[in-house]
Amino acid sequence: MTLIRPAAGSLELIERDVPSPSPGQVLVKVHACGVCRTDLHVVDGELPHPAIPIVPGHEIVGTIERVGADSASDLAPGDRVGIPWLGYSCGVCEYCRSGRENLCPRARFTG
C-alpha cells in the first residue's frame, strides 16, 4: 500500500516486481509491519516534504526469502528476522560511536 498524495486520506494498492537482492542484501517476505505515529503524520499530510511515493511502515517482521551474493552475514533463507526503523548508520561518526545512531548524518531509514 503506497501513499501517493499526502492528506488524500487513502493509500493505493500498487503491484510491484519482486526485487532481487543485490550483493550484501537479503530479500525479506514481510509477515507483519507496524505503523507508527510518524507514518500517520505522513499519511495525514502533517509533515513537510515527505518522500513520495512511500510505503508507510518501518518496523517489520518477516522471513528471509533469498540472500544476495557476497553476503557476509550468516542469514539464510527461512530465517525469521526483524527490521527496525533505522535501516543504516555509518558506525564511525561521533553519534554512532556514542550509542546515538539515530542522529547519524548518514543514517538511512526503512520504508
Site residues (vs Zn ion, CB under 5 A): 36, 38, 85, 89-90, 93, 96, 104
CB of 55 to Zn ion, least distance (A): 13
Q: Which is nearer to Zn ion, 4 or 88 (CB)?
A: 88
Distances (CA, A) of 19 to 4, 16, 25, 28, 66: 21, 9, 11, 10, 10
Q: What is the amino acid identity at position 6?
A: P
CB of 109 to Zn ion, least distance (A): 9
Q: Which is nearer to Zn ion, 22 or 102 (CB)?
A: 102
Q: Which is nearer to Zn ion, 63 or 85 (CB)?
A: 85
How far apart are alpha carbons 84 and 66 in whole angstroms? 19
Could you tell me where the DSSP H helices lie in 1-111?
A: 37-43, 94-97
CB of 17 to Zn ion, least distance (A): 26
CB of 40 to Zn ion, least distance (A): 10
Helices (H) and strands (E) in the chain, counts: 2, 5
Q: Which is nearer to Zn ion, 43 or 96 (CB)?
A: 96
